Structures are given as C-alpha cells and as structure tokens.
Amino acid sequence: MECTILIGGQAGQGLASIERELAALLFRLGYFFFATKFYMSRIRGGHNDHLFRIAERPVHALSGESWDVLVSLDEETQRRCKADLSARGLCLSPAEIAEIEKRAKDGFSNVVMSNPLLVGVLLRIIGVRSDALEAAAREEDQPAALLAGMALAEEWDMADRFVLQPRAESPYTFDGNSAIGFGSLLGGCQFMAAYPMTPATSLMLYVAKAALELPVHFEQAEDEIAAINMALGASYAGLRSMVATSGGGFALMTEAVSLAGMTETPIVIVIAQRPGPSTGLPTRTEQGDLNVVLSAGHGEFPRLVYAPGSLQEAVDLAKRSFEMADRYQIPVFILTDQYLADSIQLLEGSPELSVALRQYEIFDASYRRYALTPDGLSPLTYPGLGEALVRVDSDEHTEAGKITEDLDLRVRMVDKRLRKASRMDKDAVLPTLYGDRDADICLISWGSNREIVEEAADRLTSEGHPVAALHFSQVYPLVPAMLEGVSLAGKRLIAIENNATGQFAGLLKRELSLEINDMILKYNGLCFSVRELCDEVAARFFVPGGVK
Amino acid sequence: MNDHGEIAWCPGCGNFAIRDALEGALAELAIPPREIVLTSGIGQAAKMPQYLAGNYFNGLHGRALPVAVGVKLARPELTVIVVSGDGCNYGEGGNHFLHSLRRNLDLTVLTCNNQVYGLTKGQSSPTTDLGRMNMFDPRGNENEPLNPLALAIVLGAPFVARGFAGEKEHLKGLLKEAIQFRGTAVVDILQPCVSFNKVNTYAYYRKRVYRLDVPGKDRREALEIAEIQGDRIPVGVFLKDESRSPRETAGRLFRKSVTPGDMENLLQKWHGAA
C-alpha cells in the first residue's frame, strides 16, 4: 500500500514550505516516504512540482505510478496532471486551495496558515488522527492549523482515503546534499569556500550553518576560481578543505584542479550535476559531467572520483573522500546531481560518528615537501609546525619545492606523482551486486540511479523478468578487482544513465574492457522512475516467456 | 643571497632590491621564517618567495590573493604576505584584488609594478602608460592605465603605500610598516624592468620620485595623493587608517577538530525527530 502525492504550482506560492512541513511531519509521525522536486529556474511564477511517495516499507525512488493525490495550487497543474490521477485518486483543485486560503484568513487571520492547513488535509487523507498529530507536531508546525486542515479533510469526505500505517523506525532524515555535508564533517572537513550555484548551493548552506557552532570556516568567494584557490590555501595551511559547485562553476575551477595535482595539496571537490552544455537546465538533473571530471586539469596526475547512490553512500563516501585526499595528497571528486541533492529520504540505520583526524607530523629544517619515496608519497606537514619550511610550487619543482628545469628530475617527479595511483587499487570501493545473480540481464548504474535501478530490478524480477543490478559508487579509477566475484560472463549488460551518450559505459570499456550491450539513457532533465525503467527494460529486452 | 641558489632574474632587475628590502624587513621585525607564508602567482616577481626564508605557496597566475586568504582564514597566527607582479595582481587576478581588499584580513599585498609583462617578453600590463609601444601594441597602448593605489583606497584598504626599488632603505621601512599594520596593507612597488621597459627606468624614477612626510589624513586626501602622476611621483604611506580593525577570523581552527559529540548533537538537531 502506498500513496503518491503531487503538489504543483508556481514558485512563490509556498511550495517549498509545504514540502518542508509535510516531510517533517511524515518523518516524525513515523512514515516511510521519499520526496523530490521538479522545479524551474525562477524566483516567482513558472511551474514547480513537489512529489511525495508515502509507503509502509522503505522507498528511495519515484514509483512512476499515477498520482493518488493531486494538489493543484494553480490551473496549470490541474490541466497538466489531471490525466495522471489514479482511478480512486483525489484532487485538490484551485477551488479547494482557494477555500483553504479562505479558512486560513478567516480562522487564523493569516494566509500563510494555508500551508499547515493543506498539510493537515493531506495527513488526514493517509489516515493520521488528531491525537497522533498532536503528539508529533511542534509549536512551529502550527498544530491548530494542522488540526483545522484535518477537520477540513473530513468535511470534504477525504479522510482515510489512502490509509497507511506508520512503520518507519528510521531515526534520521536527510537530503542528498546534507548527507554529503554531514559526511564531510565526519571526514574532518574544517574549511569550505564557495560561490553559489544550483544544485550545489544547499551543501554550501549546510556547511555555513555548521560553521556557526563548530570549528569550521565557511567563506563565500568572489568566484569559483577564488573558491578553490582559497580552499587549497587553507588545505596547505593545515585544514581539511572542500569546494562545491556545478558544471559551469567547475569549468572555472579546472586550472586549480591541476594545481592541486601538481602541488599535491589534498582537496575534496563536490560537483552537483545539472544538464549542460553551458547554463543548460539550471534546476534539473543529469549525469553529464563524468567525462569532464575525469579529464579536468591539464597535465597528468592521479585523482579519485566517487558517485554516491544512496544517503548512506553519500555520508560514507564524503567522509572517505577526506581520508583519501590526505592519504594520496590528491584531488578527490564527489559527483552527485540535482536529483539526489534535492531528494528527501530516510536514512536506514545510524551513521558511525567517529570523526576522521588529520595527522600533524613535525619535521626539522631538513624537511623536503616533495621527498622522493618508493611509494610516491612524500611526508605532508603544515607551516609553523617545527622548523620545517613547507614550500610548494605549481612549477615543476625539486624535492625541496623550488622551481626546477632539471629534466631528469622532472621525469622522477612525474613518476613519483603517478606512483601514488598504483597504491590506490587497494582502497577501491567495490561495486555492489543486487537482485537475481543468475539472471541473464544485468542493469549497470553509477551515482544517483542506484536505488531506482535496484527497485526496478526487484519489480521486474517479481513480474517474471529476472534481472540483476550492479552499482558503482567509485567511478574512477576502475580496477580489475571490481569485477572479481561478480560473474558477468554471458549476461546482457545494460547501462542505465542520465545522459545522452552513456559516459560510464564508455569508461567501463576503456578501463576494464567491459562491453556494455545496450543503454537506457534519459536526458530530458528528469530522473528515472521505477515504472518507466521497468517498462523500458521489459519492452526492449524481454518477450513473453523469457529474454529476447 | 647565494644560499637561495641560482636567481632567475635579469642582471639589474628591480626585483633584487625589493627582495633585499623584504628580507631586511622580515629580519628586523624578527619574524621567524617558520611563521611566514609567502604566496605568489606566476611571473618574474612571483619567483620572489624562492629567494627568501619562509614557507611559500607559489600558485597560479593571478591567484596569489585567494590562496593567501585561505591561508590566513585557516591560520590567523601566521604572517601572510602576497608578492607578485602587476600582471598577476592587477590583471589576471583583478577580481581577487577587488574582493580581497573588501575582506580586510590581516594581509600584506605587495605588487612589483614594472608596467610591463616581462616573462612573456614585453606586452602591455594593466599599468602600462598610454601610447607605450609594446609587442601587442605596435601603435601604442590604447588603454588607460590602472591606478592601483587609487583603486585600493576606493575599495577601502586601510593601509596604502608606494615604494621604489631604487630606494631600498626607504622601501624596507615601508614594508616593515605594512607587515606590522593590522589589516590589509597594499604596497605598490615601482620596479624598473631593465629588459622590456626602456622608459620607466631607474633614472626616470629618480628624477620624479619624492617622499611623502605624512600620510593623507583621510581617504579623500589619500586619493588626491594617489592621483599625482607624471612628473612628480610620491612614494611613502598614502593612507594609514588604524581606526578600522581587520575582519575577525573564526579564531583557532588548526588542530581543533569537530568531535563525535558535536556530530551527535548535529545529527539529532538537524536530522533527528527529537
């Protein structure tokens, strides 16, 4: 049993507040839910959809089934979405919304109370009773208005139309960006410099808020070039540092990515992808920036790229990024996207709260920042500790960090930097195999598609179309160990990607000689839904009675 | 000077005197090299940290300032000095010059201003005079030169000064005052380029340079001083506003980590149901 809700309207109509209030109450009432949004690059007007899926088991994707409840704050929502209403679906049309606004004004002398009134109506539709609500609501949730909304649902005969039991015991809720923010703080991040850019801005806000009470500094930079150079300065000076941006801002950062590679300064770079090229669709989702991240920065140097596919992976990989950036003295990338960034989900289980700490080794005056070592890793320390002088240079440099044009030394320094990569194999995060291991078809995902693909695999298998799913959360480097123990021989491999060219499929072929047989690609700026993916897989790869 | 190895400047370059003045200033202020961080970009002046005792981050062209901002925010206890050329600080890094001054951190920003791009062998810089013939300006530079000190004053820099490489002792005094100043101190240093600037030579400046006895009493007066150009070129402190405190930094962050208890609080407060 599930209930899907679409709340549509114009920017400025209170949609974001409604989403926040409904999500907070569903969470505190103990419902399993998943919420995401499709929105336009506008401050006022335009058209935005906020989508909720409420269930009696964990859900981490849009189902793609028709809507059980349609809330139309404007006529356009009504016009566009009415046809997608389920057979026994309920519709709150602009007429009902006007009535809610009237009740807010009459009963509370404040039209803003429409939001809790509407939330009250929706909660009553899924069977919430006033006693449960009173126990869960806080003063700022406006319990009186919520209760008035519940009474209105009864008046309209909408109460208990999609009754769901609150069965979730998940203690925490996050959106994708706050999971990365939380993981970054666990990773010991103490510095972020940033220039706002959708869909990375909420991550900046997270760190900026944390900086108010923790030993962390957030600096708004004049541009992305300054942001990453500030972060490199802070990292050099001794703080674990990060930046976040989206494709266009990242393009500005690329020279400094190369600087991080040359100076061997640890840094974590989060890229929340949106559709390009150029400004593209600023508030929509895509996985189109893998190739640019793989090749960003002139010259040759090692790098590591993670792409979390769930909240837990976002927390874990963000934390791990800071460890790896320090261990290998390299730039580490986290690729996320608008879909994961803006999706509100429950975290299954509790995060491990140990905080990763930097090592502060002290050296004497003989210290050389780029000492040549067998594994390519030179001892890392920071200015002002002991008598060591820490001298780093973007030019090719000597072991002591001074500019050199000694060409033999140049070769040794290149080899040293690249030697670090050969050690990274042992720290590779292996892909996860899910579903029917014996199936003839395996869906391959990376990044935010993980949970959509896994639910689709479950559903396809239960509908008589058995499939397995293989998810990569470390997308570079790809190492042979990733395919050991995952028997893909004889399987038809289908890449599922939110881009137009199958960038990850290309990378698998280049790095692991893995041939992908088919691709399902979506690049209209929206995420996949489970139903859509199932239908596509069933239609293209199955015939009645078996695989095509 | 020899203990810094081979020096990459042309014989007679103004950078030698600037290096000596800066070395002398740091020595007289008795700041231990381990507590100094020099940041620079790219260009001949940007090589200066290589020939001084201190930590350094020799980064990208134009990006010496944001690196210094990051260092200072992370480690307010360190003495952070930016040293680069006019192309780096005023051209490629122009946006950072604007916004770093607005931050008013306790930084010293030195620009070795030779009014020409030297390392790329003679193109106009942001401070090249009108009409000057250069590699890309065979008909003479058609762009109005930037007045970096007038700009710094307008942007609110509390300490603004000009030095001359040909007056090393005076320059050393200025640099000491700039480094000791609490807040962003901007010093533009007239630096003859013996290879690519045959006009703004030592002799040219010696004829025109005069020392200011006292700074301007306020921004308006300092701006008037900064506007003096041509046959008379003032050197010295144009503005020294000690009434403004530098921007507060977050305090000590280095070696002071977030704790599991902090994370538990944050988890409950922002992500929990309590």
A382 and B CB contact within 8 Å = yes
C-beta atoms of A234 and B71 within 8 A: yes
Say yes or no: A299 contacts chain B, CB-CB below 8 A. no
Closest chain A C-alpha to B264 CA, distance in angstroms: 7
Q: What is the pLDDT of residues A12-41, one digit of tens each?
A: 889 999 999 999 999 999 999 999 999 888
**A384:B59 CB<8 A:** no
Q: In whole angstroms, give the CA distance from residue B233 to residue B208.
A: 6
- Cβ separation B257–A223 shorter than 8 A: no
- The verdict on B172 touching A (C-beta cutoff 8 Å) is no
| Predicted confidence (pLDDT) per residue in B203-225, tens digit | 999 999 999 999 999 999 999 99
DSSP B137: B
| A481 contact B CB<8A | no
Q: Does A297 touch chain B (CB under 8 A)?
A: no
Instruction: Tell me the CA end-to-end span of chain A in Å, nearest whole number.
Output: 32
Inform me whether the C-beta atom of residue B78 falls under 8 Å from chain A C-beta atoms: yes
Angle CA(A538)–CA(A541)–CA(A542) in degrees, nearest 5? Answer: 60
- For residue B190, what are the contacts with CB-CB under 8 A and spacing of at least 6? B14, B113, B162, B163, B164, B165, B166, B200, B205, B209, B233, B235
Q: Is B269 on the interface with A (CB under 8 A)?
A: no
**B39 touching chain A per CB within 8 A:** yes
> Would the CB atoms of B69 and A351 count as touching at under 8 Å?
no
Find chain B residues with C-beta within 8 A of A233's C-beta: 39, 57, 66-71, 74
Cβ atoms of A264 and A371 within 8 Å: the answer is no
Helix axes A176-186, A311-328, angle to 10 degrees: 40
pLDDT at residue B6 in the model: 87
Q: Is B274 on the interface with A (CB under 8 A)?
A: no
Is A395 in CB contact (< 8 Å) with chain B?
yes
The closest of A481, A358, A377, A484 to A426, measured between CA atoms, is: A481
Rounded CA-CA distance A306/A319 in Å is 11
Beta bridge mates, B110: B83, B187
Is B116 within 8 Å of chain A by CB? no
Please report the DSSP string for B94-122 in residue order. Answer: HHHHHHHHHHT-S-EEEEEE-SSBTTTTS
* B259 contacts A233? CB cut-off 8 A: no
What pLDDT shows up at residue B4? 78
Interfacial B residues in 226-265 facing A (CB < 8 Å): 249-250, 252-260, 262-264
Contact B74 A171 (CB under 8 A): no
- Stretch B259-274: mean pLDDT, rounded? 94
Statement: residue B1 has pLDDT above 60: no
Chain A (255-284) residues lying within 8 Å, Cβ to Cβ, of chain B: 255-256, 259, 263
Does A237 contact B255 at a Cβ distance shorter than 8 Å? no
In chain A, which stretches have pLDDT less than 50? none
- Residue showing tokens 């990365």: A180
- Residue A259 phi/psi, 5-degree rounding, is -60, -40
* CA dihedral sign of residues B60, B63, B68, B71: negative
**Is B60 in CB contact (< 8 Å) with chain A?**
yes
The whole-angstrom separation of Cα A202 and Cα A20 is 14
pLDDT exceeds 50 at position B2: no
Please indicate whether, in this complex, the C-beta atoms of A182 and B271 are within 8 angstroms of each other: yes
Burial (CB < 10 A; 0-12, 13-18, 19+), residue A540, is exposed
B74 and A234 within 8 Å at the Cβ level: the answer is yes
For residue A298, which amino acid is it? H
Whether residues B71 and A395 touch (CB distance < 8 A) is answered with no
Residues of chain B neighbouring A229 (CB-CB closer than 8 A): 59-60, 63, 66-67, 70
| Continuous segment of H or E residues that includes residue A136 | helix A130-136
Compute the count of residue pairs across chains A and B with CB atoms less than 8 Å apart. Answer: 194
Nearest of B176, B42, B169 to residue B108 by alpha carbon: B176
Please state, for a pLDDT cut of 90, what percent of chain A lies above it. 93
Q: Is the pLDDT of residue B250 over 90?
A: no
Chain A residues in contact with B262 by the CB 8 A cut-off are 185, 213-214, 355
Contacts of B96 in chain A (CB under 8 A): 222, 225-226
Of A186, A237, A394, the CB nearest to B58: A394
Do residue B39 and residue A233 have CB atoms under 8 angstroms apart?
yes
> In chain A, which residues have their Cβ closer than 8 Å to the Cβ of B257?
188, 190, 215, 355, 357-358
Find residues 197-226 of chain B whose CB sits inside 8 Å of chain A: none
CB contact under 8 A, A382 and B249: no
Per-residue pLDDT at B251 exceeds 90: no
Is B50 an interface residue toward A (CB < 8 Å)? yes
**Whole-angstrom Cα distance, residue A148 to residue A151?**
5
> Per-residue pLDDT tens for A34-61?
999 998 888 888 889 999 999 999 999 9
Residue A456 touches chain B, beta carbons under 8 Å: no
Decide yes or no: CATH 3.10.180.10 for domain B2-271.
no
Identify all chain A residues contacting B99, using CB atoms and an 8 Å cutoff.
221-222, 226
Q: In terms of DSSP H, where are the helices of A329-430?
A: 338-342, 407-422
Q: Do A229 and B67 touch (CB under 8 A)?
A: yes
Chain B residues near residue A216 by CB distance under 8 angstroms:
250, 253, 258
Q: How confident is the model at residue B112 (pLDDT cuts 50, 70, 90)?
A: very high
Asked whether the whole model's pTM tops 0.90, one would answer yes
Domains and CATH numbers, chain A: 2-155 (3.40.920.10), 173-347 (3.40.50.970), 359-427 (no CATH), 432-547 (3.40.50.920)
B57 — contact with chain A (CB < 8 Å)?
yes
CB A210 within 8 A of CB A242: no
CB nearest to B99's CB, from A222, A383, A387: A222
Residue of B nearest to A224 (CA): B66
Report whether pLDDT(B164) > 90. yes
State pLDDT tens for residues A254-264.
Answer: 999 999 999 99
Compute the distance between CA of residue B202 and CA of residue A294 in angstroms, rounded to an integer: 50
Judged by a CB distance cut-off of 8 A, whether residue A396 touches chain B is no
Q: Do B273 and A28 touch (CB under 8 A)?
A: yes
What single string gives the DSSP state of each residue in A208-264? HHHHTTSS-EEEE-SSHHHHHHHHHHHHHHT-EEEEEE-HHHHHHHHHHHHHHHHHT
Q: Answer yes or no: are the C-beta atoms of B201 and B195 closer than 8 Å.
A: no
Q: Would you call A238 an interface residue with chain B, using a CB distance cutoff of 8 Å?
A: yes
B81 touches chain A (CB under 8 A): no
Contacts of A27 in chain B (CB under 8 A): 273
Q: For chain B, what are the domain ranges?
A: 2-271
The Cα-based distances of B177 to A391, A423, B108, B184 in angstroms read 26, 49, 10, 12
**Confidence (pLDDT) at A357:** 87
Q: Which tokens is A172 given?
A: 């925490």
Query: Residue written as tokens 């998810």?
Result: A471
Q: Which residues of A touch B95 (CB under 8 A)?
A: 222-223, 225-226
Decide if A211 contacts A217 (C-beta within 8 A): yes
Question: Is B95 touching A (CB cutoff 8 A)?
Answer: yes
Q: How far does the CA of residue B21 sit from the closest CA of chain A (Å)?
A: 21
Tell me the nearest-neighbour CA distance from B86 into chain A, angstroms. Answer: 18
CB atoms A219 and B69 under 8 Å: yes
Average pLDDT over residues B112-133: 93
